[in-house]
Structure 1
């Protein structure tokens, strides 16, 4: 009969190896610190406000997570979101198209831009980061050139009217609302989790990210998966852009620029490896939560926003270093094992 103590110890060991467990501990510690230093931090209205504020980044992070798992990287998604959002806004305000057509067109534009990245990476054999830097530059520059940098303020009511699914008034008189961006974030996270853990496409994406050559040898369609991953990110970027315009009530051509590093750092904080094959949806969500807690807490304490950018840069640097060192250690162990087997 197995010893319960040993089983409990093994369970704790497995838990310690999960990035999600460490992230949750860090979030609780940081949240406790900020709640002690800033009394308004740990309140329900502030928490709900944080969820809505970071809902757009969370939606795009779900798409980026899929690309990272597949072994690629894409930093053009913010430009894709801007192009899809502005194009949809033009269709709605200048042509007066109805909501279903405008939304479908915006999502289609984002998906197509994602598929352009996939085609460049798979058929032209351009490294993913180089391809997406190029498409980011082309997409954003073309948007600014043709739009003249002009914002669109006269979005139709169906787009900018607040959609509230739940509302309650607290004893303090504050209103707490669960709005469309929060619900959209939850639906996207659930859909991404289901795709990556409950479908053959998700398992193939993990296999391709873990070892692309081995995946190809067992008959997995690498080209198809590239289009799935980058097309999915393009779709999510477009959705994030549409939700962003709904939140702020306008379409600004450069509003989504410089969100790339924040979304990327959330993904790698959540355990998504920059070399592919590793990561979970809960981990990415916890990464978003940690960044939200850090930025909001620092703002309440009056710390400069530039310090938060330092945190993001260090996060990416440390996460990348750990990934590289881990892969070297694993490769060294495999070589030593092979030498021992031949001895």
Structure 2
């Protein structure tokens, strides 16, 4: 059973921390709280939050997926190549990338279920397999060319702000909103969301209740793959480049955000709000440190520390709960 009061306290602590950091960074940098910086922050970290939504569901189910950076790049590479050869539009781009990502996610689900080994072992293996295949077929070549309509972009409700720049509801922001709404409804309002929580809390009990574990795993890892493809489109839109090795190590950043948000690495515990707050906190940390002129190497150190602290606090919380119950 989910300890909702504990989750609410954790989310409250995250909100307070975000507010404190906001004050510190705004004092040390006049650019931090400008509309332009906050707008860029949302755009630049939209992909991270999209991937975090997928990993959040995988962790809730009691599994883990480390292979999503490779799935994202493969989906992105196939999408751009297909669009240049056959043409299309943004809907076609999402269908191609999402389809490729879903297939790779289903491969993960099949291996996790059939091999009966921890999902972290399986997905570390597929991470290397996927990357190896990508590098073999792509020869490590970067893609810079996009269709004209893709480079032209898609922005609704455009307006000119006081700083003279144009802003609006662009593709990354619109995509992020859709992903958040769909993920929230899935986990809070649907029966499959409740089954995923139950499977993560106690897989044997869920199986005895008649839940199809394999079907749930197919859904969970397939959804992770789908969002990996969606994230690939968003990143393409943002950077207009496909680099086969651009997301190496990105799984640690996404994992840090999700566990920082209070999602248990052993399953059955966590909220989408907490995950979103975890992403916001990491985004603010990296952006604020950058504006203050602190070396990017320290960003990696801080990300590692966040993972250690978050996992440790989750473990202590679970151990304390177990001691009370015993």
Q: What TM-score range do you get, normalising by the shorter chain?
A: over 0.9
Q: Paired residue for 2:86, among 87, 96, 110?
A: 96
1:129-278 counterparts in 2 under 5 A?
129-278=120-269
Residue aligned with 2:305, SS: helix
Deviations along 1:130-168, whole A, 9 cap, x unmatched? Answer: 000000000011111211111122211232322112222
TM-score of the superposition, structure 2-length normalised?
Answer: 0.94
Preserved CA contact (<8 Å) 1:76 1:133: yes
Tell me the distance in 1 between the aligned counterparts of 2:279 and 2:254.
Answer: 8
Deviations along 1:180-211, whole A, 9 cap, x unmatched? Answer: 10111111011100000000000000011111
Report the structure number with the largest CA radius of gyration: 1
Q: Paired residue for 1:56, among 15, 32, 47?
A: 47
Q: Are the structure 2 counterparts of residues 53 and 220 from structure 1 closer, same or farther at C-alpha, using a change threshold of 3 Å?
A: same
Q: Paired residue for 2:271, among 266, 270, 280?
A: 280
Question: Structure 1, unaligned stretches of length 5 or more?
Answer: 1-12, 336-343
Q: Are the structure 2 counterparts of residues 307 and 88 from structure 1 closer, same or farther at C-alpha, using a change threshold of 3 Å?
A: same
Tell me the distance in 2 between the aligned counterparts of 1:166 and 1:254.
Answer: 35
Instruction: Note if 1:19 corresponds to 2:6.
Output: no
Residue aligned with 1:141, SS: helix
Deviates more, 1:155-164 or 1:283-292: 155-164
TM-score of the superposition, structure 1-length normalised?
Answer: 0.90
1:301-312 counterparts in 2 under 5 A?
301-312=292-303
Tell me the distance in 2 between the aligned counterparts of 1:138 and 1:145.
Answer: 10
The Cα of 1:17 is off from its aligned counterpart by 4.5
Q: Paired residue for 2:97, among 106, 120, 125?
A: 106
Tell me the distance in 2 between the aligned counterparts of 1:303 and 1:69.
Answer: 35
1:326-341 counterparts in 2 under 5 A?
326-335=317-326
Q: Moved runs in structure 1, 4+ residues, more than 3 A?
A: 13-17, 99-103
Question: Structure 2, unaligned stretches of length 5 or more?
Answer: none
Say what the alpha-carbon RMSD is for the aligned residues.
1.6
Aligned residue pairs, count? 322
